[in-house]
Amino acid sequence: MSIPLSKDPMMAETLQRVGRQFGINAPFLSYEEIKVGNVNHTYKVNYILSDENHMARIKSYLVQKINTYAFREPVFLMENIDNVTEYIHKQQPTKLCLHYYRTVEGTNYLSEEDGGFWRMCNYIPSLTFSACKDLEMVRDAGKAFGQFQMMLSDYDPGTLHYTIPDFHNTRKRYQTLISDIRQDPIGRAQTAREEIDYLLKVQDQACLLTDLYTQGRLPLRVTHNDTKINNVLFDEQTRKPLVVIDLDTVMPGLVGHDFGDAVRFSANYVEEDSRDTARAGLDLNVFWAFAEGFLQKTASKLTDTEIFSLANSCFCLACELAARFLDDYITGDKYFHIHYQDHNLVRARCQIALAKDMMKKMDAMQGIVREVAKKYTAGDPEERK
């Protein structure tokens, strides 16, 4: 495959400067921006290196500029990533894992005086899917995220920083939304009145996970917190999972955060920013496939309340994200990258349409989770509480 030439000389120069700080002094070849994700800026950067036979070869790295508006404490974020990746690597030293390079000062990040915050990691040739209806691949993605959580099941979540405080505190997300609706800083609230009314009507159902945790009925775990299927890299030949990526939001959380976010992303009939809300809804076959994979790896270590929370978590996460999209729209699109003026409003509407369909199918979702969990659960249920 040919590598496109770098079209922006200033960006090429910036990436070369960043690379030198991470100890990459080889001849620069090119770069390309990877436009996946709504928060950070990601680049595949290509250099020319010499192999053991003194033959020229192309080696690629992933370079990211972190969005410090979204991640106010990026150093803490990188400390979490360092601790988690090292822990995983010690558990499975022969398996592929993410590796973050260090600067000449010994940090796994580069903080520049102009506010730029950069990192560099190994580039893994692979396939990613922004959407996938291949049930076997969905099942494998479920296994990958379940395995990721289980690899960290003995890791003390209390030792990790909250990279985004109250990230999945749905009650506080709602409080922020309500406050911003009242202030209406740029006069957009009236254009979203129908969406606001729905989210406020279902507030208690949407906050179920947060409330169960507050009541002491759900344990904290180390969770990924951004379990979109495009955060699993698949082998180009076998199409089996290689590694889970994008660890920015790895922090203490609930099992339902990972399960619910994965389902609301992968099991929607349409993309999460589709204007065609009439087609938005939950594909029960995709839901079932992901539940099979995820619970195969996790069911034996989950409490009964955690298992009960999984189907509900999908509705909770869809509403929570709708609230976040809507709040960003009302306050001027500061968090999520947008491609047109009402992009965040469109995203919110799509999540609300999905949430409505989930509520209609909740009994079926609960039944699927119960049967799959029973299939993979061993031992006395009392011992799992």
In order of 131, 133, 227, the CA distances from 236 in angstroms are: 16, 17, 20
Residue 241 φ/ψ, nearest 5 degrees: -65, 140
Domain boundary among 74, 94, 122: 122
Residue, of 360 and 53, whose pLDDT is higher: 360
Locate all alpha helices (DSSP H) within 337-382, ordered by sequence: 343-360, 362-376
Residue 113 is predicted with a pLDDT of 84
- Say yes or no: 203 and 248 in one domain: yes
**Looking at the structure, do residues 113 and 157 belong to the same domain, yes or no?**
no
List, in sequence order, every residue forming a beta bridge with 65; answer none if it has no partner. 41, 118
Name residue 342's beta-bridge partners.
none
- Phi/psi-derived region of residue 243, left when phi > 0, alpha when psi is between -120 and 50, beta in every other case: beta
Looking at the fold, whether 171 and 281 belong to one and the same domain comes out as yes
C-alpha span between 95 and 97 (Å, rounded): 6
Query: Residue 38: its pLDDT value, please?
Result: 65
Same domain, 52 and 114: yes
**Averaged pLDDT for residues 197-205:** 98
Based on the fold, state whether residues 228 and 356 are members of the same structural domain: yes
**How far is Cα 383 from Cα 385, in angstroms, rounded to an integer?**
6
Q: Long-range contacts of range 303-306, CB-CB < 8 Å, 24 or more positions apart?
A: 303/218, 303/219, 303/384, 303/385, 304/381, 304/384, 304/385, 305/212, 305/217, 305/218, 305/385, 306/218, 306/219, 306/254, 306/255, 306/256
Q: Give, rounded to a whole angstrom, the gap between the first and last alpha carbons of the chain.
A: 52
Number of structural domains (the chain) is: 2
330 shares its domain with 207: yes
Q: Which of 154, 165, 83, 75 is nearest to 118 (CA)?
A: 75
Query: Residue 16: inside a domain, yes or no?
Result: yes
Query: Which position has the token pair 């959407």?
Result: 131
Phi/psi for 94 (5° steps) reads -95, -5
Q: How far apart are CA 12 and CA 15, in angstroms?
A: 5
What is the domain range of residue 139? 135-384
CA distance 35 to 46: 17
The whole-number pLDDT of residue 258 equals 97
CA 168 to chain centre: 12
In a domain, 222, yes or no: yes
| Cα(248)–Cα(289) distance, integer angstroms | 26
| CATH number, domain with residue 96 | 3.30.200.20
Rounded mean pLDDT of 276-287?
96
Local confidence band at 385 (pLDDT 50, 70, 90 cut-offs)? very low
Quote the tokens at residue 359: 């509520």
Residues 202, 174 contacting (CB under 8 angstroms): no
319 in any annotated domain: yes
**Does pLDDT of 380 surpass 70?**
no
Question: pTM, whole model, 2 decimals?
Answer: 0.87
Verify that 213 and 276 share a domain, yes or no: yes
pLDDT band at residue 69 under the 50/70/90 scheme: confident
* pLDDT tens readout for residues 146-192: 999 999 999 999 999 998 889 999 999 999 999 999 999 999 999 99
Specify if 71 maps to a domain. Answer: yes
Residues 150 and 253 both lie in one domain: yes
Q: Is 65 contained in some domain?
A: yes
71/163 same-domain check: no
d(CA 213, CA 83): 25
